[in-house]
Structures are given as structure tokens and as C-alpha cells.
Structure 1
């Protein structure tokens, strides 16, 4: 065993790893560029204006960055933090609720509090983990389905731009899959900037966006937003981000305690929600970039990758104004197309997880289809009803199998 394999995981004696620095910056770039359109689309869907979107992106950058830096430095483990991309897709699918964006902000606050409670009271986290994985995956697949269709629907409405973005995604993905979505985002933003109909040509619309600001939003707490946004957002965040994030870390032999992670991300989410920022959580997709041997052969130095990734997110917070203005002033269908491309992989994984076990397949498909239908009843969105009805079908199929008398 080489000396680098025996370096203790504490202290700064491990030295700076340039390889880890590069991995951290790459994780921040991929995490931001591949899903920022999803975040903006989700926030605007629940009623946020451009100023509120900018404020949310600024606070998200600082919340993700500072939390990742603090947890990684304190635990000396590559604890990467991200925004809840599936949660933002949930917002896009849910749309505006009674009470407008203020009610959505109230739901963001409650979601953060629920994550804190999951850290303080372990049974809550266990209950979320006990939700059958096929149902959780079915709900996520239903949430993502509509967005994943958007790239192909965009071809009929904006064929030139949409085909260019799709071609970029396909070609770059063939060569370097990791860069496919960021490349598509870059092409889309470039096309938007050159398109005179978007109002961005010449850069006049961007002149006031170079210095982003934070806007306070007075939260409103309504029953519809709590059940339609807060509870599904909490379930999606825990089931699709935090639990998979822990699994990724475990793959590389890291087992950080969950309490400080949930307390830090939940508290940061509840606080920054007052400025329009949605929930933050453990990274799932980009976590491997910081935790794998690609970040550094020495496991004791990989925490530096997550730490530098946090710095990268703080730097991206400074671009929030420009990013938000370019995206919100561009054709909505094109933004949905870029967001959909960013979620194709997540949709495929969720769909496979939903139907893989035959015994749970019917319940998972019911969950997915009800969620994808956009059903709204009593002011509550389809994600909740999908999980509820899918759970009922699951119990209906499960109960007879345990009540059969022994022969």
C-alpha cells in the first residue's frame, strides 16, 4: 500500500490536490449548467418574476456553496450539495397555486423545516426511506415525463433553435456524455442572445443584470401549497436526492452522519427560502465527480473537490442576473426543451426503477400516470395524488399475499 493510501482523513497535512480542485470546479460547472434552466422554469411556473428568480439563484449559489464547504471541511469527506432538480421539475409540473409565489415560498420554508426534523427525529427519515422505491421512482418519472417531451415538442414551434440544441446534445453526448447538456445550454443561450425576437440581441437587456440583488418575499402559508408543494417537495428531495446521495458516497466507502447534513441543508433551505430560493440537498448526480478516484487517488483528499465545488457555486451566484434575464426573456418552449434534455437521464433511471420489480409494477405505473396527468383535486397537485393512489394499489396487491393461510 502506498503512503498516499494511509494519509489520515483529518488535518490539512494531506496537502492541496490540484486534481481535486479540477474535479470540484467541473462538478460545479456541470451541476449549474446542466439544470439551471430547470430551476428557472420551476420558479417561474409557481409565479416568480425575474427579480425573484435572480434572488433565488443568488441565494441558492451561496447556500449550496457555504454548506458544501462547511460540511466537507468539518467532516473531511466529499459532501457535495446541490439544488433539488427533481423538486424544480415538480414545481414546473405543479404550476401556480392559490396565494401565488408567496405561497410557494411558504412551502419552501416548510420543506426546509421538514428536512431539519428529519435530522432531529430519525423516524421521519426512516419513514421516507420506507416508501417503496418503485412508488417513489414512479412519482419522479411522472413529474419528469412532461418536461422530457418538451425538446421534441419544441421542434414544431421553434424548429431552427430546437434542432440545433438537440443536435448539439446528441453529438457532444456521443463523444463526452458529461458535457452534452452544458454544451446544449451554451448553444441555446448563444442562439437566444443572437435572436432579435428575444429582446436580448445587442445585450441591452443584460445591462442591468450584472449586479444581482436579493429580494425578500413575505411567505404565505396555505393548505393547498403545503399539501401540493411542501410535502411532495420534501418526499422528492429525500427520496430522489438525499438518499441516493448517501448511496453514492457509500459506494466510495464514505459514511457521513446524516444528522448534520439534514440540519445544515434544511436550515439553509428554510432561511434562504425567504429570498425565493428553493430547497438544497445532497448532490446525487454530480456527487460521484467529487467522491470517486477520478477526483484524487487518495480518499483522504477528495473532500477538497467538494469544498472547491462549493466555491464554484458561490462564483456562479454572481452570474444569476445575466442567466435569469437571458432565460426568462427567451421562448418558453426552448427553455423547457433545454430543461427536458437535462432530465432525460433522470427520467430513464426513475422509469427503470419504477418497473423493474414485476410485483410492484402496476402500483408504480399508476403512481407515474396519475402524477403525469396533472390531476388537481381540492387544490392539491398530482404528485401527492399519484403517490396516494399508487400506494393504495400497492397495499391492495400486497395485503392478500401476507394473509394467505398456511397450507
Structure 2
């Protein structure tokens, strides 16, 4: 069955697979280790107490978990949500003495804007005009650094990463469905044997939600709410939609999905959920062949990721130390291996049509360059550059 066609209704237990669970774990591992520190720093910038920081991580984890599980089960497709990492980085610069109450008020306004952009259909209509070649090129550019990190990390820990690569290649030859789980297992065993796993900071503690009464100010609206909305839509939701489309899951309706991320943010903003959106890089892990050979069973990977997010949210930020306990090279290595198939597929789709090859290449290069203008990431500018090139070069 083609991934763009709705599959027959089946039970999750029937579709469950080890490869999907591991893909969900890897997605959460990559998400937390790559940007949790930015969220901590953003909360601290507004003067958050340790309890409030824990509440932020709890609200974000619960929001990502519930929305990922609900949306993936609803559409039987891997729909993974995430916190807005560029948004968190923007908050660090925008804090500048803003009170926590004004910040939460700005989060609520941003959530309302995301909800309106989603349910109104405006955002989906804009995304529907992007050719698949440019969308695939942008996806390849976003994921390229993970493929490169796989090999650059060998310079630091060659024994660890090279062993993971060898196990992955043997797995692809002998047990394709379990290539990534076997590589992850090998990495954990080797890292443990070398004493690279730091468990000193591990402790279990339930999250304690901390309510912050919102207040509203013109300064927070202009300096936080609007920039957070623009950055989240352009740098997060655009790549997120691209991953869904480029992976062939056309049955996922973009408008309600984006709208529900806004609703989730609206409900949890007083507890610290500043902005939730569609995931891109971590979603690609759940949508690739490593999650499952059958595209119609890959939604289980996003459901598994949602369960892991829920656990982290309920147990609070302290459990994030579990993911931070792994050496950075292990995380980079397993992320690169899990995304190899997706990178290859996106490049093949990007270059499939000769008439759109140069615009797609421009999209890929701009996106991969990391260009950032007006605090908007390279994924957005890659699409803009490729679209302009396509308009210039396209023949009537």
C-alpha cells in the first residue's frame, strides 16, 4: 500500500515492532540531547526558579507526548511534535528583564496565532504551493549535518562510532529491520565499557506544575509573541510539513494538525510550554525505513516517542539527565545512522526532475549552509531561494 493512502484500521498491538520503538526512543534522545540545554537557559533568562524550570520541562514533555500520540493514532501516520528550538533560542535573547507573567502572556498570544494560522487553512495553502523537489531538497539540507556529524564524530571517538557503523552495515545486510537497534545497543555497550556513560546526575522525581498568572504588555507582544510566532512557523512548522510531504504521508491534513499544536500550547503555556510545533528532524527518524519497512506501520514510532515524552514530562526535567548521560558522539552517531535512508531518499526526489534540478540544488545548498536572516533559519530561506530560482528558470 502506498504511504499516501489511508491504511485499514488496525490495532496498535498488531502494528507494534521493536524497530519502531527504538526509532521513537532515538527521536526523543536526539530531541532532548540537542536542545534541552537551550530550554533551560531560556527559562532562566526570565528568572525562573528551579521549580519553574522543572515545570517548563514537564509541560513541554506532556504536551509533546499527548499531541504526538493523539495525532499519530488519529491519522495512522507518524505525526511527531516538538518544542520550538529556534523559539527557545530567540527567548534567550528577548528576555532582557521581561517578567515571567509577561512572558507567559506572550506565549498565549503566540499560541492563539498558531491556532488561527492552522485552523484557518492559510498556512496549508501556502505550503501547498511548494514543489516536491524543493521540499525534498530542503529536507536533505536540514538533515545533511546529521549525516556529516556521523563521520566527524569518528575523529573524537573512532572506536565507538566506527563500531556502530560496522554493526549498522552488517545489520542492513543480514537484519535490515534491526540495523539501527543493533547499532544503538553496540554503542551503549561500548560506551559503558569505556566508562563514557555518566549516571551521576540521574534521579527520579515527579514534576510539580507551577502556574504563572499571565500578564500582557505591548513590549512582550512586539518583542516576544510575534517573533516567537514567526520563528516557530517559518523555522519549525515549514520543515515539519516538508518532512511529512516528502515522506509520502499526504493523508495527514496540515491545517488541523498545526491548529492542534496551537491549542496544546494554549492549554499548557501558563506552566511553561512556550511553543509546540511539528517536528522535523526527529520526525524524519520516525518516518524513515528504519522505523519499519511498511510505511503504514511507522506511526507506531511516533506513538512510542510520545510515550517516552510523557514519561519524561511526568518525571520532570531530572530524567532528562538520562539522555544527557550518553556521550555526545553516541547520540550523533545513532542519529546519523537512523537518518541515512531519509537523506538518500530526499536527495533522490530533489534531483528527479531535470527542469527543477538547479532550483532544488539551490534550496539544498542554502538550507545546508545554516544561513540565518532576521532570526529565521536556513530552512525557510532555502525554500525562498529555490522558489525564486524556479520562477526565473521555469519555461512556460
1:365 shift after superposition: 0.8
Contact 1:55 1:277 in 2 (8 A): no
Which residue of 383, 386, 392 corresponds with 1:387? 383
Contact 1:142 1:372 in 2 (8 A): yes
Separation in structure 1 between the aligned mates of residue 359 and residue 123 of structure 2, nearest angstrom: 23
Contact 1:21 1:304 in 2 (8 A): no
TM-score under structure 1 length normalisation: 0.68
- The corresponding residue for 1:156 is 155
TM-score under structure 2 length normalisation: 0.69
| Matched ranges for 1:90-109 at <5 A | 96-97=89-90, 99-100=92-93
Which residue of 331, 344, 349 corresponds with 1:348? 344
Separation in structure 1 between the aligned mates of residue 195 and residue 341 of structure 2, nearest angstrom: 33
Secondary structure in 1 matching 2:235? helix
1:184 shift after superposition: 2.9
Contact 2:111 2:265 in 1 (8 A): yes
Separation in structure 1 between the aligned mates of residue 350 and residue 381 of structure 2, nearest angstrom: 17
| Matched ranges for 1:297-376 at <5 A | 314-315=310-311, 317=313, 324-376=320-372
| TM-align CA RMSD | 4.7
- The corresponding residue for 2:132 is 133
Answer with 32-41 or 208-217: which moved more.
Answer: 208-217
Contact 2:363 2:382 in 1 (8 A): yes
Separation in structure 1 between the aligned mates of residue 170 and residue 268 of structure 2, nearest angstrom: 38
- The corresponding residue for 2:25 is 33
Answer with 49-58 or 60-69: which moved more.
Answer: 49-58
How many matched pairs?
360
1:308 shift after superposition: 8.5
1:154 shift after superposition: 1.1
Separation in structure 1 between the aligned mates of residue 53 and residue 18 of structure 2, nearest angstrom: 24
Separation in structure 2 between the aligned mates of residue 167 and residue 313 of structure 1, nearest angstrom: 30
Contact 1:47 1:100 in 2 (8 A): no
The runs of 5 or more residues in structure 1 that have no matched partner are 1-7, 10-16, 251-255, 296-301, 403-407
1:136 shift after superposition: 1.9
Q: Show CA shifts across 1:198-254 (max 9, x none).
A: 5x1xx4321x2454666889997277665555412121112223x467x5374xxxx
Secondary structure in 2 matching 1:279? strand
The runs of 5 or more residues in structure 2 that have no matched partner are 1-7, 44-49, 97-102, 215-219
Contact 2:15 2:300 in 1 (8 A): no
Please tell me whether residue 63 in structure 1 is matched to residue 63 in structure 2.
yes
1:166 shift after superposition: 1.9
Answer with 180-189 or 343-352: which moved more.
Answer: 180-189
| Matched ranges for 1:391-402 at <5 A | 391-398=387-394, 401-402=395-396
In structure 2, relative to structure 1, the CA distance for the partners of 1:80 and 1:97 (3 Å cut) is: closer
| Matched ranges for 1:256-267 at <5 A | 260-267=256-263
Q: Show CA shifts across 1:24-65 (max 9, x none).
A: 475762342232232124414746459899867754553354
Separation in structure 1 between the aligned mates of residue 374 and residue 332 of structure 2, nearest angstrom: 27
In structure 2, relative to structure 1, the CA distance for the partners of 1:170 and 1:292 (3 Å cut) is: closer
- The corresponding residue for 1:5 is none
1:325 shift after superposition: 1.6
In structure 2, relative to structure 1, the CA distance for the partners of 1:333 and 1:292 (3 Å cut) is: closer
Separation in structure 2 between the aligned mates of residue 23 and residue 102 of structure 1, nearest angstrom: 45
1:374 shift after superposition: 2.1
In structure 2, relative to structure 1, the CA distance for the partners of 1:355 and 1:112 (3 Å cut) is: farther
Contact 2:64 2:309 in 1 (8 A): yes
Please tell me whether residue 204 in structure 1 is matched to residue 196 in structure 2.
no
1:150 shift after superposition: 0.7
1:362 shift after superposition: 0.7
Contact 2:284 2:339 in 1 (8 A): no
In structure 2, relative to structure 1, the CA distance for the partners of 1:349 and 1:30 (3 Å cut) is: same
Contact 1:168 1:187 in 2 (8 A): yes
In structure 2, relative to structure 1, the CA distance for the partners of 1:145 and 1:99 (3 Å cut) is: same
Contact 2:140 2:364 in 1 (8 A): yes
In structure 2, relative to structure 1, the CA distance for the partners of 1:372 and 1:267 (3 Å cut) is: same
- The corresponding residue for 1:298 is none
